[in-house]
């Protein structure tokens, strides 16, 4: 019988990230969505791995896109459509969430960064 | 050396430090629109129509120019478009006076007119917004 090992070496979770929640406000352009930390802010210790980076030339812009894999302890507050912010202010869009083995132990966030691989 | 150079200088001096811009056709990666760099503008020529007289082609030329005002949010795009419209409205020659641009040819402009197109858009690659303006510029083409 296979022995499940869902543990993680906590030493790998060496970076602090902050969850940015979507907020709807009314501005010059009407209703707009901005992203900001909740109250109180939700943070997590994370392992951040860069997966790949590409240049996309589209819509009159040269755009650099960076894909990240971010591992954190399980917290359902981290969900697709929200964003995370690193300690240095860089923001990443959470595109997908993997609840590893559906064990509610830890999760892997697939994230997209824009303009950050220079 | 060109009408483009003169117009870019004219707009950039009008909007000041509000946004980098004057890029031809595309925003370069070095100035990608991000939260830290929320505005940028580009231009592209759509139409250049010379005037013809009995002697042939005249220097008086009608240039239609597209200006794309990129913003990290739609607010940014709108504010940048307003600033560019304001700059060109203030600089446009009136009362029969010509405007001399600061390019090395000192291109002489007879008129700057905003055209009807006023399009909003969204970049799915960069998650940013754009407001597109069009202008008709009549000037003497020094070739």
Determine the residue of chain B that is closest to A113 in CA distance: B126
Q: Which two tokens stand for residue B69?
A: 């005002």
Burial class (CB in 10 A: 0-12, 13-18, 19+), B96: exposed
- Please state, as a whole number, how many other Cβ atoms lie within 10 Å of the Cβ of residue A75: 14
Q: Quick check: is A36 in a domain?
A: yes
Cβ A58–B74 below 8 Å, yes or no? no
A62 CB neighbours in chain B (<8 A) are 26-29, 32
Q: Which secondary structure element, helix H or strand E, spans residue B14, and what is its range? A: helix B3-15
Cβ A114–B25 below 8 Å, yes or no? no
pLDDT of residue B52: 96
Question: Number of A:B CB contacts under 8 A?
Answer: 78
Q: Which two tokens stand for residue B27?
A: 């925003």
Q: What is the pLDDT of residues B63-122, one digit of tens each?
A: 999 999 999 999 999 999 999 999 999 999 998 889 999 999 999 999 999 999 999 999
Look up the CATH number of the domain holding residue A58.
Answer: 2.40.10.270
Coil vs helix vs strand at B83: helix
Using the Cβ of A16 and the Cβ atoms of chain B, whether some distance falls under 8 Å is answered with: no
Q: At what angle do helices B3-15 and B74-91 cross, to 10 degrees?
A: 110
Q: Quick check: is A92 in a domain?
A: yes
Q: Specify the higher pLDDT residue, A118 or B121.
A: B121
Scanning the structure block, which residue is given the tokens 């009995």? B54
Domain count, chain A: 1
Q: Specify the higher pLDDT residue, A8 or A74.
A: A74
pLDDT at A2 over 80: no
Q: How far apart are CA A81 and CA A38, in angstroms?
A: 15
Sign of the Cα torsion A88, A90, A91, A96 reads negative
Scanning the structure block, which residue is given the tokens 């040819």? B105
Q: How far apart are CA B12 and CA B18, in angstroms?
A: 9
Q: What is the dihedral of CA B4, B9, B11, B12, to 10 degrees?
A: 130
Range of the domain at A26: 10-114
Q: Which two tokens stand for residue A41?
A: 């802010």
Q: Quick check: is A53 in a domain?
A: yes
Q: Which one of A33, A60, A118 makes the best mutation probe of the B interface by having the most chain B beta carbons within 10 Å? A: A60
Determine the residue of chain A that is closest to B79 in CA distance: A28
Q: Quick check: is A100 in a domain?
A: yes
Q: Quick check: is A95 in a domain?
A: yes
Quote the mean pLDDT of chain A. Answer: 90
Q: What is the pLDDT of residues A66-100, one digit of tens each?
A: 999 999 999 999 999 999 999 888 899 999 999 99
Measured in residues, chain A has a length of: 118
Strand partners, B129: B71, B122
Q: Quick check: is A4 in a domain?
A: no
- Produce one character per residue of A54-72: b if its CB has 16 or more CB atoms within 10 Å, e if not: eebeebbbbbbbbbbebbb
Ordered domains of chain B (ranges, CATH): 3-140 (3.30.2000.10)
| Nearest of A72, A68, A75 to residue A93 by alpha carbon | A68
Specify whether the CB–CB gap between B76 and B93 falls below 8 A: no
Q: How far apart are CA B25 and CA A11, in angstroms?
A: 47
| Structure ipTM | 0.81
Specify whether the CB–CB gap between B81 and B131 falls below 8 A: yes
């Amino acid at each position: 019988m296979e022995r499940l090992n869902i543990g993680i070496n906590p030493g790998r979770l060496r970076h602090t990230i902050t969850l940015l929640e979507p907020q709807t406000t009314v501005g010059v352009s009407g209703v707009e969505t901005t992203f900001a930390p909740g109250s109180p802010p939700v943070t997590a210790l994370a392992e951040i791995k860069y997966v790949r980076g590409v240049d996309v030339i589209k819509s009159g812009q040269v755009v650099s896109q960076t894909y990240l894999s971010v591992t954190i302890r399980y917290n359902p507050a981290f969900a697709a459509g929200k964003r995370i912010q690193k300690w240095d202010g860089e923001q990443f869009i959470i595109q997908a969430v993997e609840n590893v083995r559906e064990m509610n132990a830890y999760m892997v966030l697939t994230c997209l960064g824009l303009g950050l691989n220079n | 050396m060109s009408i483009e150079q003169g117009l870019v200088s004219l707009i950039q001096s009008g909007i000041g430090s509000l946004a980098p811009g004057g890029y031809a056709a595309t925003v370069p990666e070095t100035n990608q629109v991000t939260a830290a760099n929320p505005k940028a503008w580009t231009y592209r020529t759509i139409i250049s129509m010379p005037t013809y007289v009995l002697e042939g082609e005249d220097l008086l030329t009608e240039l239609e120019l597209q200006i794309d005002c990129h913003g990290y949010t739609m607010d940014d795009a709108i504010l940048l478009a307003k600033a560019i419209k304001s700059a060109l409205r203030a600089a446009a020659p009136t009362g029969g006076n010509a405007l001399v641009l600061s390019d090395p040819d000192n291109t002489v402009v007879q008129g700057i007119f905003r055209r009807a197109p006023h399009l909003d858009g969204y970049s799915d690659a960069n998650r940013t917004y754009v407001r597109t303006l069009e202008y008709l510029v009549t000037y003497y083409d020094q070739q």
